[in-house]
């Protein structure tokens, strides 16, 4: 009985020591102001503030759903912070967005923002044919390719 009690205390303390810092880190990272702290993200945050999605938290689009969604976001965030600190941009980073978040919000299933217009009926067929939301609505949440587009333009001149 004593062994079980000690084990529960150790596991409980471990969870508190790991879980509480994790939750605070996640809460900080999930806030849009955290996204603008890195110079490489700041143009996207500025563009987002002018977009139709300006009242929607970044995580509504850039976080997966499911039981481990916060863990996945935290791991990607730690990677991004490491890249920022090292200044090593030798591989392209991709800020993932999820079509399922767009679809759920614009079907009225998941509404972080109550004014989301409902998706037109013809979009179901387009989505079933494998088209992603970003194919047509590329710059809806914020402009994409900021900084990168200019570098590609310079190469083509």
pLDDT tens figures, 1-20: 677 888 888 888 888 888 87
Total domains in the chain come to 1
Please report whether residue 20 resides in a domain. no
Query: Band of the pLDDT at 100, cuts 50, 70, 90?
Result: confident
- Tell me the whole-structure pTM to 2 decimals: 0.67
In this structure, is residue 116 part of a structural domain? Answer: yes
Q: Tell me the residue range of the domain where 55 lies.
A: 42-156
76 within a domain of the structure (yes/no): yes
105-123: b or e for each residue (b if 16 or more CB lie within 10 Å)? bbeeeeeeeeebeebeeeb
- Answer yes or no: is 31 within a domain: no
CA quadruple 39, 88, 32, 98: dihedral sign: positive
């Amino acid at each position: 009985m004593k062994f079980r009690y000690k084990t529960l205390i150790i596991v409980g303390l471990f969870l508190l020591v790991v879980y509480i810092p994790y939750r605070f880190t996640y809460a900080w990272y999930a806030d849009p102001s955290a996204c603008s702290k890195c110079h490489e993200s700041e143009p996207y945050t500025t563009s987002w503030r002018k977009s139709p999605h300006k009242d929607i938290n970044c995580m509504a689009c850039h976080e997966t759903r499911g039981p481990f969604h916060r863990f996945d976001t935290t791991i990607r965030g730690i990677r991004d912070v490491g890249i920022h600190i090292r200044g090593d941009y030798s591989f392209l980073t991709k800020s993932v967005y999820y079509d399922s978040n767009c679809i759920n919000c614009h079907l009225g299933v998941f509404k972080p923002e109550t004014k989301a217009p409902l998706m037109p009926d013809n979009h179901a067929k387009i989505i079933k044919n494998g088209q992603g939301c970003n194919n047509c609505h590329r710059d809806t949440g914020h402009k994409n390719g900021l900084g990168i587009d200019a570098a590609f333009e310079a190469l083509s001149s």
